[in-house]
A and B are shown apart, each in its own frame.
Chain A
Amino acid sequence: GAGVSQTPSNKVTEKGKYVELRCDPISGHTALYWYRQSLGQGPEFLIYFQGTGAADDSGLPNDRFFAVRPEGSVSTLKIQRTERGDSAVYLCASSLSGGANEQFFGPGTRLTVL
């Protein structure tokens, strides 16, 4: 595709439920990032993939959060036992090969936990 795509655009769920958020990066980009953005704040780093492996997952807030990228392209962010504090916009970005390369962002998924 022409850019980074994310689905769904909006997700409303109940406290305690499980959710999956999907990111489809720009074709050929080996680096993929997940960020979380709360209202009025800049994005906060969650996890970085280089190819299929998570090179840095130090930003994941706790073990309820997990992400995969099994074939080095599409990535899924998984949140178990959602809490109201998980409500935020989850952004995905990709870059050609990571490092100092320019990052291109998707439109985000707005997650609301009731």
Chain B
Amino acid sequence: KQEVTQIPAALSVPEGENLVLNCSFTDSAIYNLQWFRQDPGKGLTSLLLIQSSQREQTSGRLNASLDKSSGRSTLYIAASQPGDSATYLCALYTGGFKTIFGAGTRLFVKA
């Protein structure tokens, strides 16, 4: 059974710091991995989608990497800003119809 773990569960950093969020999974047979952002009381906003054949994707200050063999993905946020404060979720599509989510990392960027 696929399990998805996100570490740390919460993170507080000063503005301007570069940071890395981690997502690990137990079964490397995945089709894609998607990173989302969720603001309090809101739905999910898609940040980056990495297909299984890719190793990374970049969008602005965000870079996501995927290493299927080690069961890991990282989300790198450069030059963090207070507006980056949110919960970040990773999700795996493993075939069939289900997508499996991690519990998320709550990020707080202090001004």
Which residues of chain A have a CB within 8 Å of any CB of chain B? Answer: 4, 6, 33, 35, 40-45, 48, 55-56, 58-59, 91, 93, 98-100, 102-108, 110
Contacts and interface: CB of A to CB of B under 8 A. Distances in A.
Interface string B68-97: 000000000000000000000101010011
B29 interface: no
Nearest to B44: A105
Contacts of A103: 34, 46, 91, 99
A17 to B, nearest CB: 23
26 contacts: A33-B99, A40-B103, A41-B103, A41-B104, A42-B4, A42-B101, A43-B44, A43-B89, A43-B91, A45-B97, A45-B98, A45-B100, A55-B97, A56-B97, A58-B98, A91-B44, A99-B31, A99-B93, A102-B34, A102-B46, A102-B49, A103-B34, A103-B99, A105-B46, A107-B42, A110-B41
Nearest to B51: A100
Interface in B27-53: 31-32, 34, 36, 41-46, 49, 51
Given A45-B100, A100-B93, 14 more contacts: A4-B43, A41-B103, A41-B104, A42-B91, A43-B91, A44-B101, A48-B97, A100-B31, A102-B34, A103-B46, A103-B99, A107-B42, A107-B43, A110-B41
Contacts of B98: 45, 48, 56, 58-59
Contacts, number: 60
A43 B45 CA distance: 13
B88 to A, nearest CB: 11
Contacts of B46: 102-105
A55 to B, nearest CB: 6
A35 B100 CA distance: 10
A58 B98 CA distance: 9
Contacts of B43: 4, 6, 91, 105-108
Nearest to A38: B103
A69 to B, nearest CB: 14
